[in-house]
Structure 1
Amino acid sequence: MMDILGGAGEAPANDLIKDVTEETFMAEVVDTSMQVPVIVDFWAPWCGPCKTLGPQLEAAVTKAKGAVKMAKINVDENQRLAQALAQQGLPLQSIPTVVAFFQGRPVDMFQGAVPQSEIEAFVKRIAEAGGGTADGGLGEAVAMAEQFLEDGQAEDAVQVFTAIIGEDDKNAAAYGGLARAHIALEDLDQAEAVLNGAPAEIADAPELEAARAQIELGRQAANAGPVAELRAKVDANPDDHEARFDLAQALHASEDAEAAVTELLELFRRDREWNDGAAKAQLFTIFDALKPNDPVVLNGRRKLSSLIFA
C-alpha cells in the first residue's frame, strides 16, 4: 500500500489541489473520492482565518504525496452548490469548513482555524482511511471475510471479522463487515449490537454507516406491503405520496433497489418537503447501504443533485 509520507511517486501539485465549482464538483470531489480521499476547503475571500488555513492545508496535502487530494470551493462564487450541500446535511453556515470525502460521501470534518499539528493529523487520518498506510496484513483478512460473505458463507465471515477485531479493535471495515454478516444471517438485533459496541472513534465511519443503513432497510422490509397493490394505488393517483413512498420500500424489500430509487426521486421531484423530506432521507439510506461505486448509487446521486440544483 502507499506510504502516506512516501507513496508511489510524488503527484504534481496541480493534480493534488484544484479549484472546484458547481459544474466540476461531481467529477472532482464525488467521483474522484471513489479512488482517493478528497479534502474540500470551503472558503471565501473576505474570511480572515481562511487565508491562514488554506496554505497550511495545502502544505499538509502536498506532504501526503498523493494519498489524499484537495478541492478548494469559494462559497461566494458557488452559492447554489453550498446551499445544496447544506441541505444534504453539511454544516456550512460558517467558514472555513473543511470536509473530507471518501467513496462519494463525507467521512470527517472540522471548522475554523486550527493548529498546523491538528491539520497534519487530520490529513494523516483521512489518508489512512483511504488505504494510505500499511496494516500488517489485516486488509487481506478483511478481503477474505468479504469474499466469504459474498459467497454466502456468512458464519465463516463472522469468525474472520471477529478475529480481525481481536487484532485491531478500531478496524471499521471489520465492524461493518461483522454487522453485515449478522444481517445476512437475519439477526438484525445482533448486527445492531455489533455497531453499538464499536469504539467511539469509528462510530461514524462509512463502513458502520453502511451497516446501519442496511439494518434500517431490513427492518423496513419486514413491514413492506405488496408491490402490485401499491403500484396500482400510485397509478390510480400519482399524487398519493404515502403510497409512492410505501411502494419504494416494497420495491427495495423485493431487492429492486433501482426501481425504489426511481420512485423516491419522482416523489422528491413532486414534493421535496413531503413528510419532512422523507424521500431524500430514504434515498440517502439506500445509497449508504449500497457500495459507493454501485451504478444505482452513482446514477441516483447525480439525478438527485440535478433535482436539487434545478
Structure 2
Amino acid sequence: MMDILGGGESAAPAGDLIKDVTEATFMQDVVDASMKAPVIVDFWAPWCGPCKTLVPMLEAAVTKAKGAVTLAKINVDENQQLAAALAQQGLPLQSIPTVVGFYEGRPVDLFQGAQPASEVDAFIARLIETAGGSADGGLSDALEAAEQMLAEGAADDAAQTFAAIIGEDDTCAAAYAGLARAHIALGDVEQAEAVLNGAPAAISDAAELEAVRAQIELARQAENAGPVAELRAQVEADPANLQTRFDLAQALHAADEAEAAVEELLELFRRDREWNDGAAKAQLFTIFDALKPNDPVVLNGRRKLSSLIFA
C-alpha cells in the first residue's frame, strides 16, 4: 500500500518538499504524491494568527525529514470550493489551522490548532512510521507471506499466519486487517467483524481496519444482491428509476465488477446527488475505502466524482 523513507540522503530541494497547493493541483500534489510518501496538508488563512506560528514549525520539520514527507499548504480563503468539497467528504475544516496527513490517497492522521514543535515532530514521526509499516524484522516478512497466501487462495493458512503475527504484536493493524480479510474470503463475515471488534482501541481507527470495515459492508450487501441482467434491463427500460440503478450498482459489485458499479453510482449522483440522503456518494466512498488507494478504479472514480462535485 515502495521507496518511502528517502532518509539518510541529502535533502531534496525545498520546492519539492514544500508547495502551495490549489484546487487545480490538489490531486497531483496531494492525492497522487501521497502514493509515494506521506503528504502533510496545512489548511491555513492569512488572517489566522495560530497559522503564522505553525507554518514555520511545519516547514522546518518537513525539511529536517529530508524527503520522508512533503508539505502542501492550502489557503482556504483562495480555495474555498476545494475546502468545501473536502469538508463534505469528512475532513473537519470548520476551524484552522487544520493539519492532515495523507498516505496512499487518504487521510490517516490530523491535528488542529497551534502545537509545540515537539508535537509537530511526533506527528511527522507517526506518518513516517505509517509509511514504513507497523511490523519490523521477521514480522514484516510474515505479513508479506500471509498476504501472498491470501492472494493465492490459501485463506486458512493466511488466517493462521495473521493470527500468529497478532500473537507477537497485538498492535499490528495490518495483521488484524489481514485476519479479517481472510475470514471474508472464507465466507465468514461475522468472524471478520469479530476480529475488528477485538482490535485494541489504539489502532481501531487505522486505515487498514477502515478498509476492511468497508469490505464487510459490501460483503453483507452482496448477500442480498439481485440478478445483474434483470436489473440492467430494468435500468435500460427506465433510466430515471434511481433505486433500481442503485440496486444494479450493488449487484455489479457483488459480481466483482467494481468499475461498472462505480460508473452506475456516478451516473446516479449526476442525476440526483441528494437522492436517498446522498446514498450514491456514500456507496462510492464505501467502494473506494474497500479497494487499495492506488487502484485505477479508485483513482478514476475519485477524479470523476470530484469533477461532478465541482461542476
* TM-score between both structures, scaled by the size of structure 1: 0.96
- Which amino acid in the other structure matches residue 186 of structure 1? G
Map of 1:100-119 to 2, 5 A cutoff?
Answer: 100-119=101-120
Alpha-carbon distance in 2 for matches of 1:8, 1:259 = 44
Query: What does residue 275 of structure 1 align with?
Result: 276
Q: Could you list the per-position Cα deviations for residues 217-256 of structure 1 after superposition, in whole angstroms to 9, with x for gaps in the alignment?
A: 0000000111122112211211111111000000000110
Contact 2:44 2:97 in 1 (8 A): yes
Secondary structure of 2:91's counterpart equals coil
Q: Shift of residue 105 of structure 1?
A: 0.8
Q: Shift of residue 281 of structure 1?
A: 0.6
Alpha-carbon distance in 2 for matches of 1:49, 1:223 = 51
Alpha-carbon distance in 2 for matches of 1:229, 1:64 = 56
Query: What does residue 19 of structure 2 align with?
Result: 18
Alpha-carbon distance in 2 for matches of 1:151, 1:27 = 33
Contact 2:103 2:131 in 1 (8 A): yes
Contact 1:100 1:109 in 2 (8 A): yes
Q: Shift of residue 136 of structure 1?
A: 2.3
Q: Could you list the per-position Cα deviations for residues 170-199 of structure 1 after superposition, in whole angstroms to 9, with x for gaps in the alignment?
A: 111111111101100111011111111111
Higher mean C-alpha displacement, 157-166 vs 73-82: 157-166
Q: Could you list the per-position Cα deviations for residues 82-111 of structure 1 after superposition, in whole angstroms to 9, with x for gaps in the alignment?
A: 011011111111100011111111111111
Query: What does residue 54 of structure 2 align with?
Result: 53
Higher mean C-alpha displacement, 16-25 vs 158-167: 158-167
- Which amino acid in the other structure matches residue 80 of structure 1? Q
Q: Shift of residue 67 of structure 1?
A: 1.5
Map of 1:1-310 to 2, 5 A cutoff?
Answer: 6-131=7-132, 135-310=136-311
Contact 1:268 1:280 in 2 (8 A): yes
Alpha-carbon distance in 1 for matches of 2:294, 2:3 = 21
- Which amino acid in the other structure matches residue 19 of structure 1? D
Alpha-carbon distance in 1 for matches of 2:123, 2:231 = 48
Runs of 4+ in structure 1 deviating by more than 3 angstroms, as ranges, are 1-9
Contact 1:42 1:97 in 2 (8 A): yes
- Gap change, CA 1:133 and 1:289, over 3 Å in 2: closer
Q: Shift of residue 13 of structure 1?
A: 2.0
Q: Shift of residue 4 of structure 1?
A: 6.2
Alpha-carbon distance in 2 for matches of 1:201, 1:10 = 33
Secondary structure of 1:275's counterpart equals helix
* TM-score between both structures, scaled by the size of structure 2: 0.96
Secondary structure of 2:71's counterpart equals strand
Alpha-carbon distance in 2 for matches of 1:299, 1:7 = 35
Contact 1:50 1:95 in 2 (8 A): yes
Q: Shift of residue 287 of structure 1?
A: 0.7
Q: Percent identity?
A: 77
Alpha-carbon distance in 2 for matches of 1:66, 1:208 = 27
Q: Shift of residue 8 of structure 1?
A: 4.0
Runs of 5+ in structure 2 lacking a partner? none
- Which amino acid in the other structure matches residue 151 of structure 1? E
- Count of paired positions: 310
Q: Could you list the per-position Cα deviations for residues 242-276 of structure 1 after superposition, in whole angstroms to 9, with x for gaps in the alignment?
A: 11100000000011001000000000111111111
Q: Shift of residue 7 of structure 1?
A: 3.4
Runs of 5+ in structure 1 lacking a partner? none
Alpha-carbon distance in 2 for matches of 1:9, 1:270 = 51
Higher mean C-alpha displacement, 288-297 vs 136-145: 136-145
Report the RMSD for the aligned CA atoms in angstroms: 1.7
Secondary structure of 2:67's counterpart equals coil
Q: Shift of residue 3 of structure 1?
A: 9.5
Q: Shift of residue 9 of structure 1?
A: 3.8
Contact 1:61 1:70 in 2 (8 A): yes
